[in-house]
Structure 1
Amino acid sequence: MLKSFFVSVLIILSLCLYGCSTGVSGLQSYVDSVQGYEFLYPNGWVQVEVKNSSEGVDAIFRDIVERTENLSVVISSIREGESLEDLGTPSEVGYRFLKKANQEARNTRKTEFISADSQTDKNNQTYYILEYEVELPNGQERHNLASIAVSRGKLFTFNLSTREPRWTKVENLFKTAVSSFRVY
């Protein structure tokens, strides 16, 4: 009787602790089943209102302590039936992405393209992973990671950004978050 009581308590305690876990250390889950995407984001981040944001911005999160660290999800329309590969290689898409960002900023910032890669998930969905640095007009340097995917005739861009001096502290966490981005 005492043995079964301890086993029951152990099972209940295990279930309670499992329910409190976030799955991946330092990250928690966000799911938007209406727009059809999900990702992991750092603990201590909060969602921000997107009411007055640029066109296509669907979600914004930022760190409550390091307020300049942020992530965003932008959804854009593309031609019917167009795939990510139809838009170009990861490098071609990355250069076009940065060229457009620089034009929108009216050449007030300098952008350095670091890397571009492609990964495919278990559902055969392709994602382009881009890494780049940005120098803002005030001299602040930022480090950015992005994951780009196409689903249901829409282009999804997931972007994470931090100040360059913090990059080495958050690099692994940010890379895990960017790799977690999924569309469906």
Structure 2
Amino acid sequence: MVYLHTSPSVHHTWLPNASIQLGLYRYGQFRRNDSFVVKSEHAPSTSTSPCQDRPGRRQLLVVGVTTAPLLLLSQQNSATFAAESKKGFLPVTDKKDGYNFLYPFGWQEVIVEGQDKVFKDVIEPLESVSVNVIPTSKQDIREFGSPQEVAETLLKKVLASPTQKTKLIEASEHDVDGKAYYTIEFIAKAPNYTRHALSAICIGNGKFYTLTTGANERRWEKMKDRLKTVVDSFQIFNV
């Protein structure tokens, strides 16, 4: 394991004192001395990223620990995921919680308390994607209100620190296979940086899903197309 220190507010953790309206955990800010864990390439991961070389898996196949049918199945699954991915991105599938998305090649998976999945650029720490999953009794994101209403609530309670100034740029709705998704674009301004971010929000499997990706405002023009690919790739499936 490799231990690194987070930049303040790069990732959001979800703490108790839930918002009654949305049933979401309130934002909690990381201190400068908080740590996250970078997963080694040799460490087991709950993520499914078949496009990445995994030396441990390759060794098992070479020494013949797995059977031929299993080897063929693994190769077929890898080919399927590779076909679904885009150049410069790697796919992630969480079969337990029922979601998948793409993230830029080169970002590292890290463990952040309160987040279900996080990938980030270790050189540009504000460039990251995180997924949060919490239970909900609602069946559809539209039960919480319009995209604008949900976005404003999330910005006040979840997606930014109380010390940050936020600006909602856009909130929209789109449909994927009969499932409603909200997408929001916003800016969160802290004393020493400004982050330009995108979030995708959806409900399914009795869970409220939030994927958030972003970058430092100074790098937004360079990164925006890649970040939009990330947020547009987010989909949930039945588990």
TMscore range, shorter length = 0.7 to 0.9
1:153 & 1:23 partners in 2: Cα distance?
27
* Corresponding residue number in structure 1 for 2:186: 132
In the aligned structure 2, how far is the partner of 1:170 from the partner of 1:63?
A: 12
Aligned counterpart for 1:165 among listed residues 195, 212, 218: 218
Q: Equivalent residue for 1:41? A: 103
Of the two structures, which has the highest relative contact order with CA contacts closer than 8 Å and spacing of 6 or more? 1
Q: How far does the alpha carbon of each residue in 1:63-89 deviate from its partner, in whole angstroms, 9 at most, with x for none?
A: 13323311100012222x431110111
The CA distance in 1 between the partners of 2:164 and 2:230, in whole Å, is: 26
| SS of 2:158 mapped into structure 1 | helix
Native 8 Å contact 1:160 1:178 kept in 2: yes
What is the CA–CA distance in structure 1 between the aligned matches of 2:132 and 2:171, rounded to whole Å?
19
User: Which deviations, in whole Å up to 9, do the C-alpha atoms of 1:89-109 show, x marking residues without a partner?
Assistant: 11110001011137x73x311
Q: Which AA in structure 2 matches 1:142?
A: R
Residue 23, structure 1, aligned to residue 85, structure 2? yes
Q: What is the match of residue 78 of structure 1?
A: 136
Question: Match for residue 66 of structure 1?
Answer: 124
Does the Cα contact within 8 Å between 2:188 and 2:196 map onto a contact in 1?
A: yes
Which of 81, 87, 94 is residue 32 of structure 1 equivalent to?
94
Shift of 1:152: 1.3
Q: Is the 8 A contact 2:147 2:173 kept in 1?
A: yes
**TM-score calculated relative to the size of structure 2:** 0.62
**1:109-158 CA deviation, whole Å, 9 max, x = no partner?**
1000000011111x2111100000010133x1110000000001110000
**Which 10-residue stretch deviates more, 68-77 or 39-48?**
68-77
What is the rounded CA distance, in whole Å, between the counterparts of 2:173 and 2:212 in structure 1? 15
Q: Work out whether residues 200 and 210 of structure 2, in 8 Å CA contact, stay in contact via their aligned partners in 1.
A: yes
One-letter amino acid matched to 2:213:
L
Normalised by the length of structure 1, the TM-score is: 0.80
Q: State whether structure 2 residue 150 is matched by structure 1 residue 97.
A: no
User: What is the alpha-carbon distance in structure 2 between the residues aligned to residue 90 and residue 132 of structure 1?
Assistant: 13
Report % sequence identity.
Answer: 33
SS at match of 1:177: helix
Q: CA RMSD in A?
A: 2.0
Q: Which structure 2 residue ranges, 5 or more long, are not aligned?
A: 1-77
**CA offsets, 1:22-79, max 9 Å, x none?**
73122110000111000000010111023xx23xx20111013323311100012222
- Quote the Cα distance in structure 2 between the aligned partners of 1:49 and 1:42: 17
- Aligned partners of 2:198 and 2:214 also within 8 Å: yes
